[in-house]
Amino acid sequence: MALIKLVLIFALSWLMATATMAVRDTIMYAKPGYNLEVQLNNEGGGGLGDCWKALFELKSYTNEIVLFFLNGEGYIGIDCCKSIRVITHQCWPSMFTSLGFTAKEGDILQGYCDAPPAVTPPMSMQSKA
């Protein structure tokens, strides 16, 4: 009886371990940015060269980004947002940490740059207000 319980415990443990590993691998490869072969071969945009170029461009916009976080009202330019979009959509978002930004700050920058531009009311509406 003890041998049957031992075999059952080992079988159950093995099944749980393989199922967990299979799900983990599926989730990891389903996320964008994990297709390393495509990125290294510069296929489909967002190649390794583009990622490093965007990172170095973003480094030149560090003052603009720091003011954005300090004031909360700062403006991030179009070129800076282009670099942020390349890093967040086509590269590894963790590249922000190499410039000293946290993952949360990277998410904030991505949200700011991905947001649609604010629509201003037509001139006739502005004059009435």
pLDDT averaged per 10 residues, the chain (length 129): 78 67 51 54 61 86 88 83 88 79 87 77 54
Q: Rounded distance, CA 5 to CA 16, Å?
A: 16
Residue type, 4: I
Stated pTM of the model: 0.54
pLDDT of residue 24: 52
How would DSSP label each residue in 12-80?
HHHHHHHHHHHHHHHHHHHSTT--HHHHHTT-SS--HHHHHHHHHHHHHTHHHHHHHHHHS-----HHH
Cβ neighbours for 58, distance < 8 A, ≥ 6 positions apart: 65, 80, 83, 84, 87, 99
Q: Rounded distance, CA 122 to CA 126, Å?
A: 7
pLDDT of residue 45: 52
